[in-house]
Amino acid sequence: MKIACLCTYPARSETIYPVIDSMINQVDRIYVCLNEFSEIPKKLKRYRNVVPYIPECDYRDVGKFVRSDFSDEDYIFYIDDDIVYPVDYVEKMIHWLDKYSSVDAVVGLHGVIYSDVFLGSVANRKVFSFTKALSEAREVNQLGTGTVCCRGYQAAPLSFMDGSQKFVDVRFARFCKGNSWPMVCVSREAGWLVEMENDETIFNSFTKVWPSSVIKETQSIAGYSKLNVNVSSLLAE
Amino acid sequence: MAQELGFLLEYANSIRNVQMTSTYVSMIFFAVSRASDGLDQKVKAQLAQHVRNVFLVCQDDAILEALYKRCPSVIGMISLPDKIKEKIRCFPSGLLSKRENVNNLVFDKFDDRDWLAVEDYSSLENWQQVAGLSINHAALCDPGSYPEKLNQFLSKFGLLGVSEVSFSDNVLKGVVFDKGTVVDGDKVSIIMSCYNAGETVAYALRSLLQQTYVNIEILVCDDGSSDNSLAVLKEFSEQDSRVKVYESRSNQGTYNIRNSLIPLCSGKYITFHDSDDLAHPQRIEMQVRHMEDGDYLVSSCKWVRFDKKGNAVFFVDGQMIRFCVVSTMVERSVFSVVPKFRESLVAADTEFHESCLYLLGHSKVGVLDVPLIFGLWGDGSLTKAPGLTAENSGFVAERRREYSEVAARQRVLGSELIADSDVVEVLKSQGIHREFSGVTEVLAV
């Protein structure tokens, strides 16, 4: 099965529909974690393959990891509630995932390589933004979980991800590193994905100033020295 | 990628300069994985140098093999001594640079009796190489001229010479220096640890007691030796009240001993000395003067390593005069700023010196460019211990590299991110952590 997971909150209760509409015909199911909602919106209930749920607490961006009842062979798409995905998104991501299956890679579109001596400044990172072109695939330290594709056995359990609110990408990267699954930022043209405008993002509110606990966690995945040279060679071929 | 690679190599250099050796090695492996023969010459040259560095420190073909696959044209830009080339298995060593390199030649031949006997090395541009090879020629071919050759070398630094050198099982035992003028000044405490050094500690201690600088105290601690080391120490303390003898409560390594003895020192300056090294008689005098003239809080000097036959040991860079971290002398107030020595079996003095640079600033940490210690290059030293070697070929054992890495990370990232417990965890995982046990004084009868 092809399963997408996203999370949202009341301020974006209208903007999620373009997102869902862009994915609904590409996947078999979409899990929608409704943080802080008091009830499930009627409009959401109309989608046959959408499974909305209100969690017992506000998981924020960890909400996309609440459901993990996948079989190993499923294709999982972690998506964001402010990105409109192209019609060929799932097909292409599956293509990349299968292409790099020999190294058990997790693939995505928004990649980050941190400085090997990362001290928490966002300036000390090399970012391959999902909105920009990338001519060749690159192994990275971290993938943005709004544009990740992985297999069911690579889906991170909530028990691991909980507590990483506002730095869920770091935590997921640590999960993959711990399992020796390289993270590959795949090639694409500019503008393949469209990001909707938003007033405040978790990035803006958190990522620019990093608590030391998060820096320490990031250290475990950070740097060119942490990249797998075999994967890098494979990608360079 | 070419631009990124150029930046990455420069960045890797800065990582290397802060002693994050493991990170540096991994970064160069990554750089090689992304290299191609299409790179411009400048980047290729940089890559060649870095690959050479990594190969020498690891002495593992893997980096060369990776480079050979990705960017074979760079192989021909790497120059290595023959002694090291002949160990390469992943491609014919003839593919490496054939350009003549004096430093490689000196590394290959410095203790080659047949070569020294016939070769005219006096024409070498580097006078230190000429001096060192002359000493070695004397050691191997003409022992009678050894003192003269050694004195020619020492005179270049304005140092007292030797009056006699007798060869036995260890040349350092037989070196007799000329007497110099007595110099007085603030007291200098010298800390020494001793472990199964019965064969060497006598000349090490004697070389300190015969310093021109007389206002010294020597705190020497036996670390649970099974030989006659303690008996030798006691004999010296009975003959000279400047020697105070201690025993470790249980074997704990040099650096725990230093931590025990530093609070017991009464000197304004504190320095260290190894139990198998010979101090030049002007060592303490010159280091104190260096500190006071330069307004330094820390002073170190250089040294030359000698093997037991009397050969000066050259390293892969073609140099024999090297920075001597064990010679570090500090003004005692430094210990209120710089953390104590790490509880490691090896290399904690290197970490201490790096910490001094980081915390006190380069203007307060001086290096006197004079070889004031003759260090024994022998099997009893920890730099030669299996699994812990640091060789003149540039090889550094992985356990040392891992310690260097985590200590450097702590310096750069801070102890909030890399706690002391994290460093200790690495020491333990590498089997080089030593438990502190303290010392007891051995009183003269």
Mean pLDDT for all residues in chain A: 91
d(CA B173, CA B167): 8
pLDDT of residue A207: 55
pLDDT at A231 exceeding the cut of 70: yes
Report the pLDDT value the prediction gives residue A20, as an integer from 0 to 100: 95
B378 pLDDT above the threshold of 90: no
pLDDT computed for residue B123 by the predictor:
85
Phi-psi label, residue A163: left if phi above 0, alpha if psi -120 to 50, beta otherwise: left
| Beta bridge partner(s), residue B300 | B367
With residues binned 3-state (H G I as helix, E B as strand, rest as coil), the percentages for chain B, rounded to 5, are 45, 15, 35
* A66-108 per-position pLDDT tens digit: 999 999 999 999 999 999 999 999 999 999 999 999 999 999 9
Whole-model pTM: value is 0.90
Report pLDDT for B4.
84
Task: Specify the pLDDT at position A59.
Answer: 94
Question: CB of B56 within 8 A of CB of B25?
Answer: no
Sign of CA dihedral A133, A137, A138, A144: positive
In chain A, the N- to C-terminal Cα span, in Å, equals 31
Mean pLDDT of B330-341: 96
User: What is this model's ipTM?
Assistant: 0.85
| Range in A129-133, B284-288, B321-325 the model is least confident about | A129-133
Instruction: Report which listed range, A120-129, A184-193, B115-124, is most confident.
Output: A184-193
CB contact at 8 A, A40 and A116: no
Residue A99 CB partners (closer than 8 Å, separation 6+): none
Q: How far apart (Å, rounded) are the C-alpha atoms in residues A152 and B409?
A: 36
Question: Considering only B1-10, B11-20, B207-216, which range has the smallest mean pLDDT?
Answer: B1-10
For residue A118, the distance in angstroms to the closest alpha carbon of chain B comes to 8
Task: Average the pLDDT over B2-20 and give the result.
Answer: 90
pLDDT average, residue stretch B347-360: 94
Tell me how far apart the alpha carbons of residues B330 and B67 are, in angstroms, rounded to a whole number.
Answer: 44
Question: Do the chains contact at B32 and A229, CB–CB below 8 Å?
Answer: yes
Establish if A103 touches chain B: CB-CB under 8 angstroms.
no
Q: What is the mean pLDDT of residues B69-93?
A: 92
Q: Which of A116, A117, A229 sits opposite B29 (nearest CB)?
A: A229
Which of A214, A229, A230, A234 is best to mutate for the B interface (most B CBs within 10 A)? Answer: A229
Among A195-209, B37-51, B260-274, the minimum mean pLDDT is found in A195-209
Element of type H or E holding B209 = helix B201-209
**pLDDT digit string, tens, across residues B406-423:** 999 999 999 999 999 999
pLDDT at A201 over 60: no
Average pLDDT score over chain B: 95
The reported pLDDT for the residue numbered A51 is: 95
User: In whole angstroms, how large is the CA radius of gyration of chain B?
Assistant: 23
Cβ neighbour number for residue B5 with a 10 Å cutoff:
21
- Asked if B26 and A232 come within 8 Å (Cβ–Cβ), the reply is no
